[in-house]
Every structure is written in structure tokens, then in C-alpha cells.
Amino acid sequence: MRVPFGKKGLVAAGAAVTGAVFFWRVRARRREEAEAREWEAEIAGAVDEGRAAGAASAVPSSEPSGA
């Protein structure tokens, strides 16, 4: 089989495909890590909101209870 650009062209094409796959994998990994950080931040914010709400409701009121 005759290759239009010779062996060097075939090697260059293989290197380009390999580089593209590597780039795609790295990008996908970074995207997953960014999503994980977003989830962690969202969960931490929700926990902080819950703690603040719990602390606000735990403050004793100045009104006497119905005795």
C-alpha cells in the first residue's frame, strides 16, 4: 500500500492523533476536577447555611414559655 506522504507523514499523523487523544483526556480530567470542586463548595455552603440556621434557632427568646 502506498502512503501519499510517505513514512514521515504517517508518523506525523500518528503523533497528531496521539497528541489529540492526550489533550482530550487531560481536558476531561480537569473538567471533572472542576465539577468536583464546585460540588464541594456547594455542599460546604449548604452546611454553613444549616449551621447558621441552627445557631439562630437555638438562641433563647426573651419571652417566657407558656407556663
Q: Where are the domains of the chain?
A: 1-46
- Pairwise CA distance, residues 32 & 22, whole Å: 16
Using one digit for the tens of pLDDT, what is the confidence trace for 25-48?
Answer: 999 999 999 999 999 999 999 999
Tell me which of 54 and 14 has the higher pLDDT. 14
10, 3 in Cβ contact below 8 A?
yes
9, 3 in Cβ contact below 8 A?
yes
Banded model confidence at residue 50, pLDDT cuts 50, 70, 90: very high
pLDDT of residue 60: 65
Question: Is the overall model pTM greater than 0.85, yes or no?
Answer: no
Where are the alpha helices (H) located in 1-67, listed in sequence order? 6-58
